[in-house]
Structure 1
Amino acid sequence: MIYFEDLEVGKESYFGSVEVTREEVLEFARKYDPQPFHLSDEAAAKTYFGRLSASGWHTCAMVMGVIARKVVAEEQAGLGAPGIDELRWLKPVYPGDTLHVRGQILEKTPSRSKPEIGSFRTRTTVTNQDDVPVLTFTSIVLIRRRPAD
């Protein structure tokens, strides 16, 4: 189990990758972000995107899936996150892209009011197969402290 005490400020981690499929882009857009450039090649061709692109929210959901699978596999004592700051969609994400998810621990802080937990701030960077950044965000994550023996 990975606890607050095991975290190292400055440490970088590779969480994994995910392939973006046309079917998932369309499914997500139909359900959650039904803007024409997420639903139609013709409509997207007339926009900045130039072709069908994934919703930024879909990109966030794919990234969360990659992070969650890694955290669960490593048995991190995580307790969720109270929020995300500085979310930026830097470049469009297209069907056929492969997204790579990396994070860096920026700081960690023990809780003043709940001694059994702490938090850490992390910067997540998502790049495509060409190593071009497409998404960045900073988040605060809650994590349990190592239990006393």
Structure 2
Amino acid sequence: MLYYEDLTTGRRFQTASHTLSEDEIIAFASQFDPQPFHTDPQAAKTSVFDGLAASGWHTSSLTMRLITASELKDVANGLIGMGIRDMRWPRPTRAGDTLRAEVEVLGQKPSTSQPGFGVVQLRWTTLNQHDDIAMQLETSIWVARRPVTTTEPA
């Protein structure tokens, strides 16, 4: 298990990678973000993206999947999000792009109202195969503190 005490400022985590196909991009967008530049390769050619682009929400969802399959899957009470700040997609994700994520611990603060928990600030960065940033955000998660163990005198 990873507890609050294990998520120290500066610690970094890496994920595996996933290569997106055109079919995946269209299927996700058809269900969750049905705009022509995400669902129709022909129409996308005349869009601001100059070709089919994955929805930013697809990139974000895939990032979550990669993170929950990484070492961070072992956070004691799960990855309980408290909010997101500064989410951005500086470039489109395309079919054939291979994405991976890096997570950096930015800081921690113990809870004053619930001493068994703390808040950990993280930066998620999703990179493509060229190490270009496809998505980045900052988030805070609610994390259990390591249980205090006591030993009884012999």
TM-score tier, shorter chain, comes to: over 0.9
| 1:1-149 map, 5 Å | 1-70=1-70, 71-72=72-73, 75-79=74-78, 80-149=80-149
Aligned partners of 1:78 and 1:141 also within 8 Å: no
Ranges of 4+ aligned residues in structure 1 off by more than 6 Å:
none
List alignment gaps of at least 5 residues for structure 1: none
TM-fit CA distance, 1:17: 1.5
SS where residue 82 of structure 1 aligns?
A: strand
User: Could you report, residue by residue, the CA deviation over 1:97-135 in whole angstroms, capped at 9, with x for unpaired residues?
Assistant: 001100111100110100111111011111110111111
Aligned partners of 2:59 and 2:134 also within 8 Å: no
Letter in structure 2 aligned against 1:85 = R
Cα distance in structure 1, aligned partners of 2:130 and 2:6 = 32
TM-fit CA distance, 1:2: 1.1
TM-fit CA distance, 1:19: 1.4
Report the counterpart of residue 152 of structure 2 in structure 1. Answer: none
Cα distance in structure 2, aligned partners of 1:45 and 1:118 = 47
List alignment gaps of at least 5 residues for structure 2: 150-154
Cα distance in structure 2, aligned partners of 1:124 and 1:100 = 10
User: Could you report, residue by residue, the CA deviation over 1:2-45 in whole angstroms, capped at 9, with x for unpaired residues?
Assistant: 11111220112212222111111111111111000001111110
RMSD (CA atoms): 1.0
User: Could you report, residue by residue, the CA deviation over 1:44-94 in whole angstroms, capped at 9, with x for unpaired residues?
Assistant: 10012111110000111000000111122xx22144111111000110001
SS where residue 8 of structure 1 aligns?
A: coil
% identity of equivalent residues: 35
State TM-score, norm by structure 1.
0.94
SS where residue 69 of structure 2 aligns?
A: helix
Letter in structure 1 aligned against 2:48 = Y
Aligned partners of 1:106 and 1:123 also within 8 Å: yes
Cα distance in structure 2, aligned partners of 1:95 and 1:34 = 17
